[in-house]
Structure 1
Amino acid sequence: MNTLTQKMTKTLTIIVLTLSTIGMANAASKVVAADDYVTSKICSAAAGKSKIQLHKVIKESGLSKKYIAEKVTCNNQNILAFVQEFGDSPEKMNNALTNGRFNTQVNITDLAAN
């Protein structure tokens, strides 16, 4: 009976450790501003999930969405590319930055065929 209890304890320990490891592996990485610059705060908010937080940071910055989408860089990338690569909700956040004009689809038109 004692060996059965030991086997059950080992099995439960292995299950708990496995589930804990899986949970840590699936944890989302969070982008944190390295300094106190306005653009760093914008980059950090844009890489997150909350459009409300992004709107709040943009409003506090006094910059327009158009200026941010065209001029702000994060880690030497345009903010839209940065959000696409590191963001938790890239489509949603890039659409918020471009007022719904962000499109990841590429259309190729053969001009010579016409």
Structure 2
Amino acid sequence: MAVIGVDEAGRGPLAGPVVAAAVQFIPEKVPPGIRDSKKLSENQREKLAPLIKSQAIQFGIGIIHEQEIDKKNILQATFLAMRQAMGQMDLNSQRILVDGKFVIPNQAGNQTAIVDGD
């Protein structure tokens, strides 16, 4: 069964966007070297990006900029970025693994929150 994973980056910086990505792979076919992107060098991420895009069943990216983060808060902006990423995908009966303590509010799908699920 294919699984969708959702994670964010950018919650730590004081200035800059929060970015979320959702990617669907068949678990047995996840390309090697793909783990927590925050632990990879920029060069490693750039090398893996084309591989991820070519091997993924589908993927989506959401970006929320500083102005929107200031209007909401970082948690709500993160959820919004995740919903944007998920909105680019077909979620029909898919299992969704969300990195973090919370599932994504107002998001359809069979979600499971996984702390340290990078």
TM bucket by the smaller chain? under 0.3
Larger Cα-atom Rg: 1
More helix by share: 1
* Greater strand proportion: 2
- Which of the pair has the greater relative contact order for Cα pairs under 8 Å at 6+ separation? 2
Tell me the TM-score normalized by structure 1.
Answer: 0.26
